[in-house]
Each structure stands twice: as structure tokens, then as C-alpha cells.
Structure 1
Amino acid sequence: MTKNRKIFNSIIYSLLFLVFGCKTGKVKQTTIGLGWSNNSVNTVKFRKNALTTFNDYQFIAYYDADGFLVLGKRKINTKNWEKVKTFYKGNVSDAHNSISIAVDGNGYLHVSWDHHDTKLRYAKSKTPLGLELEKEVSMTGREELKVTYPQFYNLPDGNLLFFYRSGASGRGNMVINSYDIKSGEWTQIQQNLLNGEGNRSAYWQACIDDNGVIHLSWVWRESWDVSTNHDLCYAQSKDGGITWQKSTGERYILPITIETAELAWRIPQKSSLINQTAMTIDKQGNPYIVSYWSENANPQFQIVYLDNGEWKKQNTGFRKTAFYLGGGGTKQIPISRPDILIDNEDSNKLVYLLFRDEERNNKISLAYRNLNKKNNWKILDLTKRSLGQWEPNYDINLWRNHHKLNVFLQEVTQIDGEGLAQKPPTTVSVLQLNKLPK
């Protein structure tokens, strides 16, 4: 079969999926274009962000079939996407080399892409709400030669934070840069916040609440082998990332090390503990961290959260299939890393998990329950067919400001240990769920 024929068949299959592949009424999808699908680089969980909303506009980023960086935007609640295929490319053969985006308080789009222990790649849009990028530039000129896992975070005042790892797996440190919208300049506020001391590295997830408090959690890894992940730790900052403290208010002496870190939950090595998942906060500012690990032979999605100053855990317990997580490179894993969101506008506290599981034919699934009641987890499949090795990434700003769930969607294939499939490009779309189940 010719390459063009494969692409044509892929388009037809994707369109049929858009028409017939999801539950009608509640779930909708809008199509953007065709994306690289030979690995999971467009859908890895540690993207911050694949989708983001600023005022009335939603932005998206992905690699196309040839590895070019594509940017798009639309007015929210519309179907028409404006797209720009930039002249920037990424090493799409490595699933670590994902794209992260954010829009600052002045409306400028910031993009970072193509990193795995490599030189920083970063550019900003030429105009507010624009998709045309300026040339690549340095941020601060410090700790920019071995960058991995770039992540943008929005602060309530319109400024940005940029997190990344400097160094390599098992011996990396966490760097934080801060962007000021008044000066248009980046400064490095943390050169080594989570110090692996040359023996380990921290794999983190973070969120920022409406008061600007930064909530940070992480697991430690002792080597390149994912089986050496262990322990879930926590810190918070109330001044934009300058000083850090424990949940008790005790101030950290920086950098934070394995000896000084607050332990939210003890998890031993070889527990099939995954890294780089997600966290969120409730209305009271309590952090909720979602991950998965095994307490026997069967990894389960687990939620660790702060309640009246005490760390607690919810084991979802609905998975049936055992597996063991170990080895290096991007893995082909039976389940995705989960994402989490909370709806507690009234007396109820509804927790939602987005995930994929081979038990459910790798569909996009939404698990939910009311934490204030003694009820079981319910699960709703949002698609009817497999999305391969997709992992969730939803528009955090749209959920926070409009209470609508928009999820980056693409069917991808990930061969274990950084392998590449031979697949035609697949449709990149946005799944929309305007009303979540109760």
C-alpha cells in the first residue's frame, strides 16, 4: 500500500471515529489536523500544556507527520481552528521531546519543545494571540544545555513559571525560571530546587491555586530504571517560587534533598510506581496528587491528598490486571498515567480521573466518585475504540474558568523502550465534555 493511500485510509478511519466513536449528546470532538503517531510524543502526560485557554481563545500544539511544530487556536465554543505550521522541527523519534505551551497575561504565546538532555529550545509569539513565532532565544543563559521535561505554569498575576530538569535521569536537578510580563524578561529563581545530590533525580508534578500558591509533589528515582521510583513528597511556595515550605508551614532550607523532603506517602522501590502524573487543588487549597502503584501485584490508581493537615490516600481499587513496571526509555504500559480534576462548588466533593486502560480496550475513560460519601467509583468511557498508548492532557485554564472539560486527543502507538511503530499519521482533535457526570 502506498504512503498516500495509508494516509487517506487513516483520514477516513479517523473521520468515522469522530462520527461514530464516542457517546452522543454529552461528548463532542473537533478536528484540527494530522499528527505524528509512530510514538506517544504528542500525548505524553508531562506536557504542560497541550491545550490552554486565554480569555476567549484556546491554543493547541502538536508535531505533524514530518515532525514540524504546528500551532493552532480557535475561539472557544467554535469548531474552526486557525493553524500555522512553523519552520521548527523536533526529534519526534524520542517520545520525551514533547511540546509545552502557555499564554502570558499580555496574550503572548510561549512555546518550548524538543528536549531530552539537550539544549533549551524556546520561542514566543510575535504578537498577542498570534501563532507566528519569533526566532529561538535563550531564557537566562543558565542551566540550558541539558534540558528535559519543560513545563509552563500560569500565575494569577499573568506572569509565568517554567520548570525543567537540568541533567540526566538519576542525577538531575530541578530548575525554575520566572517570566515577568512588565519587563518581558526571564530570571532564574531556582537553579537546584530538588537536589538529587548526584545520586538520584526528582520527577515532579505541580499546580497553582487561585491565590498563587505553588503546590509541588514528586517521586525520587535512584537510576535510569523506572522500578527505582519511590516515595511521594511535597512542598509549597507562597511567593512565586522563591521560598518553600512543608504543608505544616515549616520552611525548607534549600535545596530540598531526600533527607529533608516532606513525605506525603511512603512507597518503596519496585512498587511499579509511575512518575510525572498530575495534581490539583480543592476550593480550600488542599492538594490532591494522583498516581499509580502496586500494593500487591496489581497496580491501582491512587490519590494522596491533604485533609485537615493530615495526608490521606484513596485506592481506587477497580483495576483487575497485574503488571510490573521496570526498565528504561519510554515504556509501553497497559495503563496511562492518570490526570485529576475536582468539582466541589457545593457541599459535594467530586473527584474525576482521566485515564486509559487495556482492560477497557484503551478507550478514554473517566472515573469519578464523591469523596464525601461512601460510594463506589463509577467509570464512563468517553470513546468507543482504542486510542493506543494515549495519555491524558486537559485544558486546565478552561476547566478552572469555565468548568468545561477539553482533552487533547490522538491515537498513538508506543513501542516499549523508545521504539518506533510504522503507522500513518492520525487525527489530532479535542474531546469536549461540557457537563461532567455526577
Structure 2
Amino acid sequence: MRQERVLRGSTVIFVLMAGFTAGLAEARGGASEYPEIIEQTDVAPVWSAHRIGSPVLLTHAPFQYVGYYDADRYLTVAQRQLDSESWRFYRFPIQMGWPTGGHAKLTLAVDRDGFLHVSSYRRGLLQGPPSPPAILYYRSEKPHDIGSFERLQMVSPDEDPGYPTFITGPDNTLYFEYRQGSSGRGDQIYNVYDPDTQTWRRLLDVPLLDGRGLMNAYGGPRFGPDGLWHAVWVWRNTPCNSTNHTLSYARSPDLRHWQSIEDQPVALPITSETTQVIVDPVGPGQGLSNMTSLQLGWDSQQRTVHTYHKYDEHGNSQIYNARFQDGRWLRVQATDWDFRWDTSGTGALPYVVRTGAIRPLDGGQLEQVVWSEQHGSRRIVLEEATLTPIRTTPPDPAPAWQRSLSVPESDFRVPANDRLLRKGGRMRVQWINDQGQSPDDRSRYLLRWENAGGNNDRPVPEPWPEPTMLRVLRLVTEGA
């Protein structure tokens, strides 16, 4: 049975083009059972002229929170009770500018006692609070109440987080992950929250991933089905995307003590010279990317399978899968594409290749869904024992509601613009998964977000589309 689920953890965004549905359905083999929409709730009109930082949906029963940039590009949080269509709003004194673009990451979390934590990226602001502290971090003054927030520092007034991310552990421990530094020169830092004292401290005495002033890492940990934390990352030498290199992996029981795939202790900080964590020593300029072509999945034996993009021996773009077995990394090409994605460039780049993570099927097989701008979506079935592709077919058709709601409501036509890396056309519909926990196993929530696409971190000339409605959908699968 194919049963649809929504991933929890880091925000995952899928632009539904040509039936690309990886991440909305979990492959189980056999017949398909899709959920139906039983509720649509408007949140608020939002800025739509460019893909400013992605909204966040966080369900924490009996409440639901949405973080987003409003019609005037101000950071805003909305809250409702799950049985109500009425929202409360809080607007922060943070207004994003053109250079922020798709990098304007915002992150939400609810701690053990019900306080809401909010953080966003200080980059290219039109308006913002004074510094120090450099960090844009707020905590609600009352549990389960967004009526007022206090601005705080975490560990140091000098912390200036890039790509801030709250991570909630399986025991409800709250962590904060961020990059200290810049693209091509930065370290990966982790803080941990103490709800008894309502204070933060460093989780580690040293960075987890240390660029040594020469590079930075893109990627980080996620909690796996085996009860371990799994970190996957690439290193980047400069702000240019094509300088990504060296796919790497480590795992940990507690985010403090790390080990290699062979269960050998890994000394911290981890650097590009820590050879025991290397999955594939892909060099700069060989197509490795930190964008939506980097995924981690598990096979039926709960072995990690790494999915990534790089160039083949002919210089064409391909998706590869890697798994450690028999004392070595097995790396197998999954696609046979005839084009080359030029991964060079800086700023918010357009998506040309995307892939879903490996998922197990019955009968000793695996499945993944890949998408490319040239060929659209494809479902690839692999032999589990060898990762060898068996067949490639179109993916299962999306449910009727998904096809219908993937059509933009706005009639605005986005002008083509080479400087903004825009090809022009209709507005884009993006679906954003819930980072929280649904109150029951049958229902799931999604955010529908309509925008004009990326802007390469540059100003978008007028005319601009009108603000579009940010909307929450509740899906229910019968018999789940």
C-alpha cells in the first residue's frame, strides 16, 4: 500500500512541476491510497514578487503556528487553535530586502514548556533591530501566546547565525544549528537550550564542522529511524556553488560523540581532512551541489543510502546513490541523462535537478523519484542488493486535489529576465511540509505558497504581482 505522509524535521519544499510528488507519498509498493483535503484555511496575503525566505508550518497541538514574510516583507508569526479558522498575528521589526532572497531562512520551535522560539537570517535587511546582539532571536514572553516577545541573545552577543535552524530531539531537547561565518568560510555551530534556566549554552566546545577559514560546510544532522543522528554535508571553497566538493557523512547517538560509518570514533572538529567521513571525494567543478539534489534515505535494513548529483565521465549531469557495504562505499549511477547542469553561480539559484530520498519497496527493491528541467519527473526502481536501476517510469499520478491546487491562482505573468535567472511564465506553487506533529496519525498539514520564483538576490523590476494568499491544508487518509 502506498500511504501518503508528510516529512517532519527540516523544512522541505517541493515545486510541483510535471507531477513531481516525491516527499508527498511514501512508497510501500502495491496499490495507491491518497489523502483527501478536508480543510483549507487562509492565513494571510504574503509577498509574492520573489521567493523570499520560505514560510514555516509548525503544528504543536492544540495550536498551530505559521512563520512567514508578510505582504510588506516583514517577519510575521501567526497562531491559531486547530479547531479554529481565526488567526492571531505578531509582526517583528524585521523587513527583508532584495539581497535576502531565498536565503532569508526563518525557523520556529516550541520548547518543553510551550514557549515559542523564533529566529531568522540577518542578511540584506531593509529594517532590523540594532546590533549587538547580532542574532535575530526572540522568545514568547508567555507559553502558547504570541501576544508579546522578548529579544534575546543566546551564548554570545557576537553570534551572527547564517541559516539558523531549530532542531527538536526525540526527547524534546531543543537545539540551535547555524553557520558562523560566510559562504566559503564558516563553521557549523550548535547550541542547546535548558528549559529550567531558560538559557542557551554551547553543545560542543569546538565547531562540529570546521572550515578552517578556507571553506564551509552545507548540511547537517537529522534523526533517523535507527535512533541515531545522521549528518550529511558537502564542503564549499567559495560562494560559488560549483566549488562544492567531498560528500561526507557521520553519525551520533547524542550530537556530541560522533563516529564513522565503520563505527570508529571521529575527533572534533571535523574538517575536510577527516578522511574517515568521506562518502565520495567529488572535487570542485564536478557537479556536487548542496541544493535539492542531496538526500539521505534508508533501505529495508535501515542502512543509509546517500543520493546526490555529480557529472559522469562524459560531463553529463547524473544522480548517484551510495551505500557502505563489504567494507567500502558502493556508488552507483541511477540516471542516464544527456544534459549538463551548470552548477556555477552565486546567490539564490534556480532548481534544475531535484531528487527524493531512497525508499524501500517490497521484493528486495528500492524506489526514488527524480526530476530534471529537461526530462520532468521519473520514478526509478532499484535492486536493493546492488543499487542498480531496474526500470524507469513516469511517477504515479498526483491526486486530483494536488493537480488542481498546483495551478496558480494569480494570472500574473512573470517576465523573463536573464539577470534574475528567470525564464518567465506563470507564478509558482510550492508545498511546504509541517515541521511539527499532527494530532492524529490520519491527518497531515501542508502549506500552499504561491510566488514568482527566485531573483538571484537582485532587485525585481516592476510590475510586481499582488500579494498571494498563504494557505494551510489539512489532509486525511482514510483507513490509515
TM-score scaled by length of structure 2:
0.71
Q: What residue number does 1:410 align with? A: 449
CA deviation profile, 1:68-119 (whole Å, cap 9, x unmatched): 222234555x672524132332324212122111222333221111334992
Contact 1:116/1:149, CA 8 A, preserved across alignment: no
Q: What residue number does 2:264 align with? A: 250
The match for 1:109 among 116, 124, 129 is 116
The match for 2:471 among 414, 429, 432 is 429
Report the CA distance between 1:223 and its aligned residue. Answer: 0.8
Q: What residue number does 1:394 align with? A: 433
| Match status 1:90 vs 2:108 | no
| Match status 1:31 vs 2:58 | no
The amino acid that maps onto 1:89 is I
Secondary structure of the structure 2 residue equivalent to 1:272: coil
Q: What residue number does 2:219 align with? A: 204
**Matched ranges for 1:123-202 at <5 A:** 123-141=138-156, 144-145=159-160, 147-190=161-204, 191-202=206-217
| Match status 1:59 vs 2:65 | yes
**Aligned partners of 1:304 and 1:431: how far apart in 2?**
35
CA deviation profile, 1:205-244 (whole Å, cap 9, x unmatched): 43113675221110011111111111210112212x2222
Against the structure 1 CA distance between its residues 258 and 368, is the aligned structure 2 distance closer, same or farther, given a 3 Å change threshold? same
| Match status 1:68 vs 2:74 | yes
Q: What residue number does 1:385 align with? A: 407
Q: What residue number does 1:16 align with? A: none
Q: What residue number does 2:13 align with? A: none
Residue ranges of structure 1 left out of the alignment (5+ in a row): 1-21
CA deviation profile, 1:297-336 (whole Å, cap 9, x unmatched): 553454445568764556553866543111111113334x
Residue ranges of structure 2 left out of the alignment (5+ in a row): 1-20, 22-33, 125-130, 409-425
Against the structure 1 CA distance between its residues 433 and 252, is the aligned structure 2 distance closer, same or farther, given a 3 Å change threshold? same
The amino acid that maps onto 2:311 is S
Against the structure 1 CA distance between its residues 341 and 116, is the aligned structure 2 distance closer, same or farther, given a 3 Å change threshold? farther
**Matched ranges for 1:344-363 at <5 A:** 358-359=373-374
The amino acid that maps onto 1:225 is C
Against the structure 1 CA distance between its residues 288 and 412, is the aligned structure 2 distance closer, same or farther, given a 3 Å change threshold? farther
Secondary structure of the structure 2 residue equivalent to 1:134: strand
Secondary structure of the structure 2 residue equivalent to 1:227: helix
| Match status 1:419 vs 2:419 | no
Work out the percentage of aligned pairs sharing the same amino acid.
25
**Aligned partners of 1:276 and 1:54: how far apart in 2?**
28
Contact 2:51/2:455, CA 8 A, preserved across alignment: no
Against the structure 1 CA distance between its residues 292 and 426, is the aligned structure 2 distance closer, same or farther, given a 3 Å change threshold? farther
Q: What residue number does 1:120 align with? A: 135
**Aligned partners of 2:137 and 2:330: how far apart in 1?**
39
Query: Comparing 279-288 with 151-160, which one deviates more in the overlay?
Result: 279-288
Secondary structure of the structure 1 residue equivalent to 2:242: helix
Query: Comparing 300-309 with 132-141, which one deviates more in the overlay?
Result: 300-309
Report the CA distance between 1:188 and its aligned residue. Answer: 0.9
Q: What residue number does 2:228 align with? A: 213
Give the number of the structure with larger relative contact order, counting CA–CA contacts within 8 Å between residues 6 or more apart.
2
**Aligned partners of 1:403 and 1:288: how far apart in 2?**
28
CA deviation profile, 1:181-215 (whole Å, cap 9, x unmatched): 33322111234211111111111143113675221
Q: What residue number does 2:281 align with? A: 266
Give the number of aligned pairs: 401
Contact 2:48/2:451, CA 8 A, preserved across alignment: yes
Report the CA distance between 1:167 and its aligned residue. Answer: 0.5
Report the CA distance between 1:427 and its aligned residue. Answer: 2.3
Contact 1:40/1:389, CA 8 A, preserved across alignment: no
The amino acid that maps onto 1:251 is P
**Aligned partners of 2:436 and 2:207: how far apart in 1?**
28
**Aligned partners of 2:445 and 2:330: how far apart in 1?**
29
Report the CA distance between 1:292 and its aligned residue. Answer: 3.4
Against the structure 1 CA distance between its residues 427 and 171, is the aligned structure 2 distance closer, same or farther, given a 3 Å change threshold? same
The amino acid that maps onto 1:263 is I
Contact 1:152/1:163, CA 8 A, preserved across alignment: yes
The amino acid that maps onto 1:245 is Q
**Aligned partners of 1:350 and 1:401: how far apart in 2?**
28
The amino acid that maps onto 1:160 is L
Query: Comparing 252-261 with 415-424, which one deviates more in the overlay?
Result: 415-424
Against the structure 1 CA distance between its residues 80 and 252, is the aligned structure 2 distance closer, same or farther, given a 3 Å change threshold? same
Report the CA distance between 1:149 and its aligned residue. Answer: 0.5
Secondary structure of the structure 1 residue equivalent to 2:59: strand
Report the CA distance between 1:154 and its aligned residue. Answer: 0.8
The amino acid that maps onto 1:37 is S
Q: What residue number does 2:343 align with? A: 325
Q: What residue number does 2:27 align with? A: none
**Aligned partners of 1:58 and 1:419: how far apart in 2?**
33
Q: What residue number does 1:235 align with? A: 250
Greater Rg over alpha carbons, structure? 2
Against the structure 1 CA distance between its residues 173 and 38, is the aligned structure 2 distance closer, same or farther, given a 3 Å change threshold? same
Contact 1:332/1:389, CA 8 A, preserved across alignment: no
Contact 2:444/2:475, CA 8 A, preserved across alignment: yes
**Aligned partners of 2:323 and 2:77: how far apart in 1?**
35
Query: Comparing 220-229 with 309-318, which one deviates more in the overlay?
Result: 309-318
The amino acid that maps onto 2:188 is M
Against the structure 1 CA distance between its residues 232 and 174, is the aligned structure 2 distance closer, same or farther, given a 3 Å change threshold? same
